[in-house]
Structure 1
Amino acid sequence: MTVGGSLDAALGVQQIALAVHIMAMVVSLGAILLIDWVGLLWLLGRRQIHEPGRVESAAVLLIWGGLGMLLLSGAFISPDLSDTPTRVKLACVLVLMLNGVAIAPVMKRLHEMPASTKFSQLSLGLRARMLMALSISQACWWSAVVIGLLNSAIRRGP
């Protein structure tokens, strides 16, 4: 957080960093949406339990690499760290990263279950944990995206 507030990048560097930031967001969020979509299809009984995990294992580099690029490029777009929405956005990014780490054991546990396992067959606690992680992920991602877009529009003016 302090790195972004202390860097004073030239306008050209800021523009390149913003383009990288947007591309990294598209890559990371796109991968998350795909995993969540396949997970929803499993929840509805249209996919087997292992399919979301397979998609996740294929997309893990896109997710974490994109998040890393978001953090790096974000430092060069001169964020206003005194701005409350910017702080909320950064908090959302932190929460979604912690959520991603916290859900990893659940994904491993699901992968160990028989392929025919249905969502309704999981324990209530496991179902609740999965739905909570999904809700946190989507809320944090979309909050960060909307705040970022609004901040960008406000900073650049009409």
Structure 2
Amino acid sequence: MQMTAVASPPDSAEDAQRPTPLWVLAALGVLSSAALTGACWMAGHVHADATLQTAARFFHVAALVVGLGAVLAVDWFAALWLLGRRRLADILNTANTLQIPIWGGLAGLLVTGLFLSPDMESPLTLTKLGLVLAITLNGLYAHWLGQRLERYRDADVPVRLLVQSGVAATISQTGWWGACLIGFLNSQS
């Protein structure tokens, strides 16, 4: 007779929504940093022909549209919440729903960037890579922050969490738009 383990339901709603442990987020931060470093190294060793570069450029822009578009939606709902025009639950639901497009867009940018022959000695390119790392680590922080905000869905949010949310949104917008601007400037040269 074969025994099959069945997961028991959580004891409470709180158990069902346990926050991601900090060590997991820290490990993801280290892995993300290593992936970006590896992509930078690989970009110097990948020599794409013109057709592959053209395809990579198209998919790079598509990944940017998906990732930045999702980030803009989350931050727009957050701004409306801060103005009292949306509930905290709206922003949390939006952020949870759009995590896959945000992270998928970021991953798409990383992979397609391998084939765009980035100039790894250019200060602009290095700044862009720093911004990409910042938005990646900030995204992990925003995930952690969102889980902290969950307990305030129907209550007043402490000022500390409001400030942290504003800082995370500012880093996000600065990073995404800064990387876009540098990408545009690099494409002109």
Same fold (TM over 0.5): yes
Q: Which has the higher contact order (CA 8 A, sep 6+)?
A: 1
* Counterpart residue number, 2:23: none
* Counterpart residue number, 1:127: 162
Aligned residues: 150
Asked whether 1:80 is paired with 2:119, we answer: yes
Structure 1 counterpart of 2:128, from 89, 101, 110: 89
* Counterpart residue number, 1:141: 176
Q: CA deviation at 1:114?
A: 3.5
Asked whether 1:66 is paired with 2:105, we answer: yes
Q: CA deviation at 1:43?
A: 0.5
Cα distance in 2 for partners of 1:89, 1:125 equals: 30
Structure 1 counterpart of 2:89, from 41, 50, 60: 50
Tell me how large the CA RMSD over aligned residues is.
1.0
Q: CA deviation at 1:146?
A: 0.2
Based on CA coordinates, which of the two structures has the bigger radius of gyration? 2
TM value normalised by structure 1: 0.91
Cα distance in 1 for partners of 2:92, 2:157 equals: 16
Q: Deviations over 1:69-120 (max 9, x none)?
A: 10000001111101110010011000000000012121112122243x3xxx
CA contact (8 A) 2:149 2:161 kept: no
Cα distance in 1 for partners of 2:149, 2:131 equals: 26
Give 5+ residue unaligned stretches, structure 2.
Answer: 1-39
Cα distance in 2 for partners of 1:41, 1:26 equals: 22
* Counterpart residue number, 2:12: none
Q: Secondary structure at the match of 2:44?
A: helix
Cα distance in 1 for partners of 2:71, 2:122 equals: 27
Provide the identity percentage: 37
Asked whether 1:109 is paired with 2:148, we answer: yes
**Which amino acid in 2 is paired with 1:150?**
L
* Counterpart residue number, 2:71: 32
CA contact (8 A) 1:17 1:73 kept: yes
Cα distance in 2 for partners of 1:55, 1:90 equals: 27
Give 5+ residue unaligned stretches, structure 1.
Answer: none
